[in-house]
């Protein structure tokens, strides 16, 4: 039975080839100064930077540069971005890049007019913004996080080895996002598949909870099937526009909160992955893939019916004569075969974790209560060891 919920998503999306031209509709809505947020330089190499600058100039904007946002953006970079925004009294934060740039822009947006330290306020104390929020717009160049249409903003404190996400409300979500699948075509294959696994796991996190029949889970299954189909095409031919555009759209729907509506959600793979990320700075999607199979095999007995349904509805395992347990195991085996085929990390050892780090990593893992089992610290250690 679906529980009660409210659904509101204020982000306006412009999707498709050439969608960047819609900046001409959006930019006039904001004041003259735009903080242009981007990463380590991929947008300069791909030409997206030049196109965005041309649109900003054509709309008479003063551009304040804020490049160098790293994957897994840090507290130091966040404080620098806040300083840039304050010094220049910016009217719009325009993130051009992947989830890291979009997340960072949101973290800056809630901190510019706030006197307190953003890491302590939003990430350690989990408070909500009470100050004026600077509007955010995104031009997405990597499909994966869903940050283009949600309130999530994940920040890493490298010294403390903590990677923490805050999901802000609708006031902080991007006002608009431009999604041109062509912009994702320059992604290195490893980043593409990390993004694909991130999408798939976002769906899993919202699917593996509860046992009832509900539309949110039906939508989740359709999205998962599509991601598997399109990923196999994209891995063979990264230039396949049909597959890449489907992947980009699936990423948005996987985490704009729609498929979580009316049901509980898990998010334990993300908690494990984030802690691994805090210690290794590894690529987000790879931290998830590396812990997923040990985690799902561990919780499978507690959510057997759903895992059996997953096998039949997502992986086309034939149910005839099989017990729920046999079906569930076959579904996870099919998922493992797919993960091997697309080439995601299957162990945290590959990401730099060694056995002596496990206890320290476990200390930073936040247990979640919405899935099939709330992990104890011993369970966390067991799953991490099985992921080595």
Query: What residues make contact with ligand NZQ under the rule CB under 6 A?
Result: 39-43, 46, 71-72, 97-101, 103, 141-142, 144-147, 150, 152, 154, 165, 183-184, 186-187, 191, 195, 198, 255, 270, 284
The residue (of 97 and 226) whose beta carbon lies closer to ligand NZQ is 97
The residue (of 177 and 184) whose beta carbon lies closer to ligand NZQ is 184
Residues 200/227, Cβ–Cβ less than 8 Å: yes
The CA R_g of the chain, rounded to the nearest whole Å, is 20
Closest CA to 248 of 261, 231, 236, 265: 231
Question: What does the block give as tokens for 276?
Answer: 């691994």
Residues 370/265, Cβ–Cβ less than 8 Å: yes
Provide, rounded to whole angstroms, the least separation between the CB of residue 66 and ligand NZQ.
Answer: 13
The residue (of 35 and 191) whose beta carbon lies closer to ligand NZQ is 191
The residue (of 216 and 287) whose beta carbon lies closer to ligand NZQ is 287
Q: Which does 177 bind (CB under 5 to 8 A by kind): ligand NZQ, Zn ion, none?
A: none
Provide, rounded to whole angstroms, the least separation between the CB of residue 50 and Zn ion.
Answer: 30
Residues 193/245, Cβ–Cβ less than 8 Å: no
H-only helix segments in the chain: 23-26, 42-46, 48-58, 75-88, 99-109, 118, 189-207, 215-236, 241-254, 268-280, 284-299, 304-315, 324-342, 358-363, 377-387
Q: Which does 174 bind (CB under 5 to 8 A by kind): Zn ion, ligand NZQ, none?
A: none
Closest CA to 291 of 175, 381, 157, 180: 381
Provide, rounded to whole angstroms, the least separation between the CB of residue 96 and ligand NZQ.
Answer: 8
The residue (of 284 and 306) whose beta carbon lies closer to ligand NZQ is 284
Provide, rounded to whole angstroms, the least separation between the CB of residue 269 and ligand NZQ.
Answer: 10
Pattern 174-203, binding to Zn ion, x per CB under 5 A? ------------------------x-----
Q: How many residues sit close enough to Zn ion to count as binding (CB under 5 A)? A: 1
Provide, rounded to whole angstroms, the least separation between the CB of residue 14 and ligand NZQ.
Answer: 17
If one asks whether residue 266 binds Zn ion (CB under 5 A), the answer comes out as no
Q: What 3-state class would DSSP assign to 25? A: helix
Q: Which residue has the tokens 């040990």?
A: 294
Q: Which does 77 bind (CB under 5 to 8 A by kind): ligand NZQ, Zn ion, none?
A: none
The residue (of 70 and 304) whose beta carbon lies closer to ligand NZQ is 70
Q: Which does 152 bind (CB under 5 to 8 A by kind): Zn ion, ligand NZQ, none?
A: ligand NZQ
How crowded is the C-beta side of 229, counted as CA atoms within 13 Å?
Answer: 13
What CA–CA distance (Å, rounded) separates 155 from 164?
Answer: 6
Q: Return the H-helix or E-strand segment holding 97.
A: strand 92-97
Q: Which does 280 bind (CB under 5 to 8 A by kind): Zn ion, ligand NZQ, none?
A: none
**Interface contacts to Zn ion, rule CB under 5 A:** 198
């Amino acid at each position: 039975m679906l529980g009660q919920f409210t659904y509101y998503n204020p982000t306006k999306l412009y999707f498709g080839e050439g969608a960047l031209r819609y900046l001409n509709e959006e930019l006039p809505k904001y004041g003259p100064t735009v903080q242009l947020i981007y990463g380590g330089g991929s947008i300069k190499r791909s030409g997206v930077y030049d196109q965005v600058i041309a649109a900003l100039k054509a709309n008479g904007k003063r551009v304040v540069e804020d490049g160098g946002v790293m994957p897994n953006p840090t507290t130091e970079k966040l404080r620098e971005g806040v300083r840039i925004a304050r010094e220049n009294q910016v009217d719009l934060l325009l993130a051009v890049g992947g989830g890291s740039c979009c997340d960072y822009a949101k973290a800056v947006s809630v901190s510019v007019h706030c006197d307190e330290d953003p890491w302590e306020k939003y990430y350690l104390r989990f408070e909500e913004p009470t100050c004026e929020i600077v509007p955010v717009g995104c031009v997405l160049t990597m499909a994966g996080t869903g940050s283009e249409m949600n309130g999530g903003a994940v920040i890493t404190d490298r010294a403390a080895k903590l990677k923490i996400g805050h999901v802000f409300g609708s006031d902080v979500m991007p006002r608009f996002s431009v999604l041109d699948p062509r912009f994702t075509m320059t992604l290195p294959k490893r980043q593409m598949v990390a993004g694909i696994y991130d999408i798939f796991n976002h769906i899993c996190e919202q699917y593996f909870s509860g046992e009832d029949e509900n539309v949110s889970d039906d939508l989740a299954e359709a999205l998962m099937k599509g991601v598997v189909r399109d990923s196999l095409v994209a891995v063979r031919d990264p230039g396949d526009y049909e597959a890449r555009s489907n992947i980009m759209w699936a990423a948005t729907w996987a985490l704009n909160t729609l498929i979580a509506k009316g049901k509980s959600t898990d998010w334990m793979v993300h908690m494990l992955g984030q802690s691994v990320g805090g210690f290794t700075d590894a690529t987000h999607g790879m931290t998830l893939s590396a812990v997923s199979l040990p985690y799902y095999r561990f919780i499978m007995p507690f959510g057997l019916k759903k895992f059996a349904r997953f096998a039949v509805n997502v992986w086309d395992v034939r149910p005839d004569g099989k017990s729920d347990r046999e079906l569930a195991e076959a579904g996870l085996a099919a998922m493992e075969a797919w993960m091997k085929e697309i080439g995601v990390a299957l162990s945290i050892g590959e990401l730099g974790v060694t056995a002596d780090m496990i206890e320290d990593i476990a200390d930073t893992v936040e247990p979640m209560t919405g899935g099939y089992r709330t992990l104890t610290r011993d369970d966390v250690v067991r799953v991490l060891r099985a992921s080595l």
